[in-house]
Structure 1
Amino acid sequence: MPNHPSPPGSLSRRALLTGTAAAAGIGLAGCGSVSGGLSGKTRVKQWNLLAGADGAVMTEMHDQFSSEHSDIELEATTFGWGTPFYTRLVMGASGGNASDIATIHLSRLKSVSPATLLDPITVDELQAHGLDPADFPEKIWEKCFVDDELYAIPIDTHALVNYYNRTMCEQIGALNPDGTLLETTSVEEYFDLLRAAKELTGQYGTSLDTLGGWRQFWAWYRQADGEMTFTDGDYEMDDDKALQAIEVMYRMAEEGLCPTFADGGQCAANFENGSAAFVQVGNWEINRFRAFNEAQGLDFSMTEMPNFFGNRRTQGDCHSYVLPRHNSWDPEVREATIEYASWMLQHSFRWGEGGGHTPAYLPVTEGAEYQALQPNAEYSGVVQNVQFDPDAWFSGSAARLFDETGSIFNQVYGLAMTPDVALATIKERIETLLSLPNPVD
């Protein structure tokens, strides 16, 4: 399933964009960085995979950037989410003629062979444009390095979060005096909330995307301190903790506390139409629910994932800027490219407000304006709790591990596969993936 399911009627991230955007993409895949052109401006070519509601916010920010930088001609192109985008990026970079800057998932950094397909960035370049390593969460900043070279600039944190219907939660006594959700500290405490919500709705306690089960699995597995590491054709995984996480998913469906099947669209619709008082889905759905609230009324808020095993860790990722490899860099283009990245981060309050993502740039997220922003401030702690997928060429957002385990977890939620069989099947899939070569290498 797409990382950011789009509202009904909008273009899916998995569909490669057509029309002017796609045509522009073909035109941009030409030669290396060149300043000037017919406009006399310094042209910066940007590629991204943001085709949902957050993409509209990005376009708005691009318009503002262009209005404030009359000497820079920004050409932004959006490709289909996932495989279409990464294929285009790898093909362009391998020939040294991709965009000047691209937006990728930080979990995919190592899988795109940065030493050969990306150009490193210097801290001096960033500092010259007002950015500093101290401006980013330490653990996210560290993930931007490969072999001591800086290859990425983090834009945000986006993660699996817990939305709740305040009207329904008030009716079941699940709100604090300030209107925020009561915090639970175990599986059973949270299941009790879901049982009360199910009794109220007559259908489910919570909704979720049964095809995107990797997200829930990884959240619960990491909450239990489960580790998964891949090295030289082998891997380590804690079977007991993995089974525990899958059993939680199975029990939730078995009790009827969540749907036995719901894709991304139905997952959100269950929350909108009152079939569930909660929904576990990404923070990127905030605009969809805001629009529904304005049209039909939906008093909702959102918080971090519930504490099942001693903490509130959750599956997530970061959008990040990278510089695809160039045969040669025009100094003016390089300068304008870093200026673009710096400006976007320094103005990322709008990115958080409109797109729901938590900006990685700490001067924004730690500022009074963002801390007063609701409901964003209520889940801002997710930056410290986000858990990246394990490092492997087949892991990360839009990668094969997510997709291939998704069909297994869908059967778990559908009660068609028991947790022990699911775990064995997941291990078989991992072993198969380990036997395959990285296609980028």
Structure 2
Amino acid sequence: MKYLKTLLAAGAMSLASLPAFAQQDITWWDFLSGGDGVRMKALIARFNEEHPDIKINGTTLEWGVPFYTKVRTSVAVGQGPDVMTYHLSRMPLGLEENVLDVISDDDLAAAGLSKDDFFPAAIAAASDADGKLHAVPFDIHAIVLYVNKSYFEGSRFLDDQGNLTGIESLADFEEALALAKENGSEAPVSYATGDDGGTYRVFFTLLKQQGGELITDGEVLAGDNLDKAANAIEIMTNWHKQGWQPEQAEYEASVALFTSGKAAFHMNGVWEVPTMVDMAEKRTLGFDWGAVQIPTLLGTTATWADSHAFAIPQGTEMSPEKRAAVMTAIGWMEKNSISWAGAGHIPAYKPVATSDEFGEMEPNATYSSLAETAAYDPRSPIAGVASPVYDAAINIISPAMHGYLEPAQAAQQMKDELQSKLQ
């Protein structure tokens, strides 16, 4: 009897020591640093606090090629994370490398989501050629036109409310650049002319605004797209010749030209909005600023864009309970993406993007229209972040617009160089 009592007591103690639930631990990888990293870590902390049955264990890896190389090698040896951030522009390469699992309608339902909840361009970029989803879009981030309004006071380019107006063509924009230079701007339009990303995004926007395509059916700059590419490079070259853009500016220098008041316009990603907001609040910006969608300069409304998204690596061994927990986390992130919008991004989840709260968020709401006309990189393994098309921008386009190649020669060289990558 004494033995039985001891056994029962030990059993009761063992039961008491067990958790009330089986916690699901999620291994999470992202490449988010700076303001994006701070916001994502805050979102993860909030999620973990609100979900005692699920714990996200986040790891931040180096952005760009190092991140995607790590994903590829980890999947190959079966040691990938449960969920990871992914650029949709890298989707074609990810599919070619077979590192991305399919996210089914049932998966979305487990997250409280459906494809109809997202902007069509983002869903298309997150899907393969058969329409199967391989990532859940989190945002749409594009280049926008930052404006130093002081250079245009009393001109036709500001309306009665002080908003940028009157730029409906390339001629209008270049008239504004000439006016800004006349009014003392050192760099009427600043962008990273000595950086692969800044150069490529402006080039791609100008190409798409002509209705051009970089890659079609496996051919680079097919047909009259070669002429359209040459025209885009010619425009950028002319801005250089006129002294309207900086000389081989690295990314940080291009931003500093604007924040110091030396540039009238700045073409850069929405991710710099927090920089401007913070400086304006601290009164260190020194001028009235705004940000708008890149105006339609060449007949077609289009702007280079990409998306951060959530993806599940291929081949990850995951119980149904673990997968449900992963989708719960993804769904929660989408529904709370108003916090992510504070980094300048447009939520890809339409219920948040069309909410009153986002509508009051400026300047995000002003340029949010670009979500409907976002131009993603072509569906090709040589396109996207940290890809050969970015290499071509810094190795071919940037030298051309600085006078080392004729625009037509640069376009042809870009075609030949990129086509060789597709052989």
Task: Indicate if the aligned counterparts of 2:190 and 2:267 stay in contact, CA closer than 8 A.
Answer: yes
Give yes or no for contact 1:260–1:413 (8 Å, CA) kept in 2. no
Instruction: After superposing the two structures, state which structure 1 stretch, 232-241 or 157-166, moved more.
Output: 232-241
Structure 1 residue 260 and structure 2 residue 242: aligned? Answer: no
Provide the residue aligned with 1:224 in structure 2.
Answer: 210
Question: Offset at 1:144?
Answer: 2.1
Tell me, yes or no, if structure 1 residue 83 matches structure 2 residue 65.
yes
SS at 2:268's partner residue?
strand
Q: Which runs of 5+ in 1 are unaligned?
A: 1-35, 436-441
Query: Contact 1:201 / 1:276 at 8 angstroms: preserved in 2?
Result: no
TM-superposed deviation, 1:258 = 0.9
- Specify the alignment match of 2:77 in structure 1: 95
CA distance in structure 2 between the aligned counterparts of 1:243 and 1:320, rounded to whole angstroms: 33
How far, CA to CA, are the matches of 1:346 and 1:202 in structure 2?
Answer: 42
Whole-angstrom CA distance in 2 between matches of 1:245 and 1:233: 19
Give the direction of change, closer, same or farther, for the CA distance of 1:186–1:161 in structure 2 (3 Å limit): same
Q: Compared with structure 1, are the counterparts of its residues 271 and 171 closer, same or farther at alpha carbon in structure 2 (3 Å cutoff)?
A: farther
Deviation at 1:224, TM superposition (A): 0.6
Which residue pairs with 1:166 in the alignment?
149
CA-CA distance at 1:327 after TM superposition: 4.5
Tell me the amino acid that sits aligned with residue 427 of structure 1.
K
- The corresponding residue for 1:182 is 165
Q: Distance in 2 between matches of 1:284 and 1:203?
A: 24
Q: 329, 332, 340: which one pairs with 1:340?
A: 329
1:301 aligns with 2:290: yes
Note the alpha carbon deviations across 1:334-370, whole angstroms, 9 max, x for none. Answer: 1110011000000011111x21111000001111111
Q: 1:228, 1:249 → 2: CA distance?
A: 17
Distance 1:71 1:362 in 2: 28
Instruction: Give CA deviations for 1:316-340 in whole Å, capped at 9, x if unaligned.
Output: 1111111002342122211110011
Q: Look up the SS of the partner of 1:206 in the other structure.
A: strand
Counterpart AA for 1:222: K
1:49 aligns with 2:37: no
Give SS of 1:117's match.
coil
Distance 1:139 1:429 in 2: 28
Asked if structure 1 preserves the Cα contact closer than 8 Å seen for 2:215 and 2:221, the reply is: yes
- Return the match for 2:265 from 262, 275, 278: 278
Q: How does 1:192-271 map to 2 (within 5 A)?
A: 192-210=175-193, 211=195, 212-231=198-217, 236=222, 238-271=225-258
Q: Which amino acid aligns with 1:266?
A: A
Quick one: distance in 2 between partners of 1:192 and 1:406? 28
- The number of residue pairs the alignment matches comes to 398
Residue identity in the other structure for 1:53: G
Q: Distance in 1 between matches of 2:316 and 2:370?
A: 39
Aligned-partner residue type, residue 355 of structure 1? A
Q: Structure 1 residues 173, 69: CA separation in 2 closer, same or farther (over 3 Å shift)?
A: same
Query: Quick check: 1:136–1:362 contact (8 Å CA) kept in 2?
Result: yes
| CA pair 115-434 structure 1, distance change in 2 beyond 3 A | closer
Does 2:412 match 1:430? no
CA distance in 2 between counterparts of 1:134 and 1:379 reads 22
Kindly indicate whether the alpha-carbon contact (under 8 Å) linking 1:145 and 1:151 is maintained by their aligned counterparts in 2: yes
Amino acid at match of 1:229: I
Query: Residue 415 of structure 1 aligns to a residue in which SS?
Result: coil
Q: Distance in 2 between matches of 1:359 and 1:242?
A: 31
> Match of 1:3?
none
The one-letter amino acid of 2:125's match is K
- Following the alignment from structure 1 to structure 2, what is the Cα–Cα distance between the partners of residues 232 and 214? 20
Structure 2: unaligned runs, 5 residues or longer: 1-17
Instruction: Tell me: CA distance 1:301–1:244, structure 2 relative to 1, closer, same or farther (3 Å).
Output: same
Secondary structure of the residue that 2:222 maps to in structure 1?
strand
Equivalent in the alignment of 1:387: 375
Task: Give yes or no for contact 2:86–2:311 (8 Å, CA) kept in 1.
Answer: yes
Specify the code of the residue in structure 1 equivalent to 2:64. G
Question: Alpha-carbon deviation of 1:105?
Answer: 0.8
Are positions 1:70 and 2:59 aligned together?
A: no
Tell me by how many angstroms 1:121 deviates: 1.3
Give, in whole Å, the separation in 1 of the partners of 2:47 and 2:25.
Answer: 13
Which residue identity is paired with 2:79? N
Q: Which residue of 2 aligns with 1:322?
A: 311
CA distance in 2, matches of 1:234, 1:248: 20
Cα–Cα, structure 1 residues 250 and 134, in superposed 2: closer, same or farther, change >3 Å?
Answer: same
Greater mean deviation of Cα atoms: 289-298 or 270-279: 289-298
User: Separation in 2 of the partners of 1:373 and 1:403?
Assistant: 35
Offset at 1:114? 6.4
Q: Percentage identity across aligned positions?
A: 31
Report how far residue 173 of structure 1 moved.
4.6
TM-score by length of 1: 0.86
TM-score, normalised to structure 2, is 0.89
1:130 correspondence with 2:117:
no
Check conservation: 1:304, 1:312, Cα contact below 8 A: no
- AA paired with 2:174? F
Which residue in the other structure is 1:310 paired with? 299
Deviates more, 1:309-318 or 1:75-84: 309-318
**8 Å contact from structure 2 (residues 229, 411) kept in 1:** yes
Cα pair distance change 1:256/1:232, threshold 3 Å: closer
Give the match for residue 14 of structure 2.
none
AA of the residue aligned to 1:228:
L
Say which one has the larger Rg. 2
Q: Residues 21-40 of structure 1: CA distance to partner in whole angstroms, max 9, x if unpaired?
A: xxxxxxxxxxxxxxx99x96
**d(CA) in 2 for partners of 1:68, 1:189:** 51
Aligned to 1:104: 86
Query: Among 411, 420, 431, which residue is 2:408 paired with?
Result: 420
